[in-house]
Amino acid sequence: MAAAAAAAAGPVLWRRLLGLLPGRPGLAALLGRLSDRLGRNRDRRRRRSPWLLLAPLLSPTVPQVTSPPCCLCPEGVHRFQWIRNLVPEFGVCSSHVRVLSSPAEFFELMKGQIKVAKRRVVMASLYLGTGPLEQELVDCLESTLEKSLQAKFPSDLKVSILLDFTRGSRGRKNSRTMLLPLLQRFPEQVRVSLFHTPNLRGLLRLLIPERFNETIGLQHIKVYLFDNNVILSGANLSDAYFTNRQDRYVFLQDCPEIADFFTELVDAVGDVSLQLQGDDTVQVVEGMVHPYKGDRAAYCRAANKRVMDVINSAKARQQVLHAQTFHGDSLLTQEDAAAAGDRRPAPDTWIYPLIQMKPFEIQIDEIVTETLLTEAERGAKVYLTTGYFNLTQAYMDLVLGTRAEYQILLASPEVNGFFGAKGVAGAIPAAYVHIERQFYGEVCSLGQQERVRLQEYWRRGWTFHAKGQFTGTWRPRSP
C-alpha cells in the first residue's frame, strides 16, 4: 500500500539524458553494462565511486500513465495515480482505516471479527501455529460455523484458509493437523489450501530436509478478512504474533470492494495450490497442473493467468466505480454522507495492493518499489522498516544514489526472531548485523551518514517483524 508523495515523472536529469539520446536504446544499454562493470569493481574495493550517482538514471523508467490525469478527481493532484495502471486503485474514507498498535489488539480483534462474521472468513498466512492461542482461534472458527448451522435462518458462511505447504506441514503436529477437525466437521463450508512452490521438485524435493526446504519458496500473503472488514498485516497466525512479536496491522472497516478483491486473490492462489482433505491428504483442483509433479512452465503459465485475471478484472471494476464516483452525482462530503446515511463519503485515502509472485512472472511490488526509490528526489523523506535487513544490490544502489533522506528501522540482534535458535539458525542474527555493518560502512565512505540513518528496534522480551515503506515529500508551508 503506497502512502504520501513520490514523483511519478522521471528526475529532471533523466529526462534531459533521454532528450539527448532520442532513439538510442543501444547506448543506454551500453551505459547500463558499464555501470554494472564499475559496480562489480567497486564492490571488490569495498568502496563506492561517484558513478553510483548514475544509479537512478540507469534504472528502469517510471511506468507511464496511459490516460491523461483526471483533473476533476481529488486524486488528480496526488502523485501515485500511475500505480493504477498496474493494480486496482481503491478509494476509502480515512475514518474507515484504523492502525492497530499491538499483537494483543490484533489477536483480540481477529477473534471478535470471527465471532460476528456472517458470510465469509478468509485467512491467508505463512502458517498456523500449534499452541493454545492458535487453538483458541480455531475454536472461534468452529463455534461460528456451528452457530451458522443452528441459526433460525442458516447462513452461507464460508471459511477459506491459505497457508504454505512446506511450513504448514512441518513436524508431526502442524498447521494441517490443527485444521483437520474443521474440515472433517464442516466439509462444505471450509476450504484449506496449501501453496507449494513450483521450484521445489524432483530430486531437490527429496533431498532437502524439513525447515531447509522452506528456503526454496513460500506463500507469504498475510490478509485476514471477515465479511467486508479486512486486516492487512505481516503477522502470521502464531502465538508470538499474538503476544510479543511487534508487527504492523491496518484494519479496513466496511470496505466491500477491497474485501472482494482479496477474497478473489486468495481464491486464485488457492486454486493453484494443493487442497487439504479430511484424511490429511492433498489433491490438486480439477483441471489444474500439479505444482511439483506437472510441467513447471505449464503450471506457472496457468497460475499467472489465474492471478492476473483477478487483478485485471478488479482494475476494470474500479475504473467503472471511479467514473461513477467522480463523474456522476453520487459524491458527498463526509458531513453530508453522515446526514444522508445512504451514500458513501468522498474518499481521501488511496490503497494499492501490490502483488509479487516471481515464479509466475508477477513482479508488481518490485516495479513499484524500485520506481518510488528511483523517483525520491531531494526534499523527499523515505522511511523503511524491516525485521531482516538484506536489501538487494539494486535497492542499495538506489538508496545510496538518490538524494532523498532515508530513515531505516531494523531489528537489533536480540529482537531478531532467530536470536538464540539452535544450529545454523542461531547464526542468522549475526549475519544480518554483518550485512548492516557493510551497508553502513558504504554510507560512511560516501559521507552520507546525515542523509541515510539506521536505527535498531529493541524491547526486552520482544521480537520485531514489521516491514514497510513510507515516502513523503516535505514542502515549506505557504504563508
* Residue-level pLDDT at 78: 63
Residue 102's identity, in one-letter code, is S
* Residue-level pLDDT at 265: 98
* Residue-level pLDDT at 377: 81
220 included as an active-site residue: yes
Q: Which of 78, 111, 147, 227 is catalytic?
A: 227
* Residue-level pLDDT at 129: 98
Alpha-carbon distances of 288 from 17, 383, 393, rounded to whole Å: 48, 41, 36
The residue whose grid cell reads 559496480 is 39
CB count in 10 Å sphere of residue 144: 20
* Residue-level pLDDT at 336: 56
Q: Which of 222, 247, 322, 397 is catalytic?
A: 222
Q: Which of 96, 111, 220, 467 is catalytic?
A: 220
* Residue-level pLDDT at 31: 39
Single pTM value for the model: 0.82
Alpha-carbon distances of 147 from 28, 134, 277, rounded to whole Å: 64, 20, 23
Give the start-end residues of each E strand in 181-263.
190-195, 223-226, 229-233, 245-246, 249-252
* Residue-level pLDDT at 379: 83
Nearest to 407 by CA among 393, 388, 392, 386: 386
Give the start-end residues of each E strand in 329-435.
349-351, 356-357, 362-363, 380-386, 405-411
* Residue-level pLDDT at 41: 42
Q: Which helix (H) or strand (E) holds 42?
A: helix 25-44
290 included as an active-site residue: no
Tens-digit pLDDT profile for the chain (479 aa)? 433 333 333 333 333 333 444 444 333 333 343 344 444 444 444 444 444 444 444 444 444 444 445 544 554 546 788 899 999 999 999 999 999 999 999 999 999 999 999 999 999 999 999 999 999 999 999 999 999 988 767 778 999 999 999 999 999 999 999 999 999 999 999 999 999 999 999 999 999 999 999 999 999 999 999 999 999 999 999 999 999 999 999 999 999 999 999 999 999 999 999 999 999 999 999 999 999 999 999 999 999 999 999 999 999 999 888 777 666 555 555 555 555 554 567 888 999 999 999 999 999 999 999 999 988 888 889 999 999 898 888 999 999 998 899 999 999 999 998 898 888 888 999 999 999 999 999 999 999 999 999 999 999 999 999 988 766 543 333 33
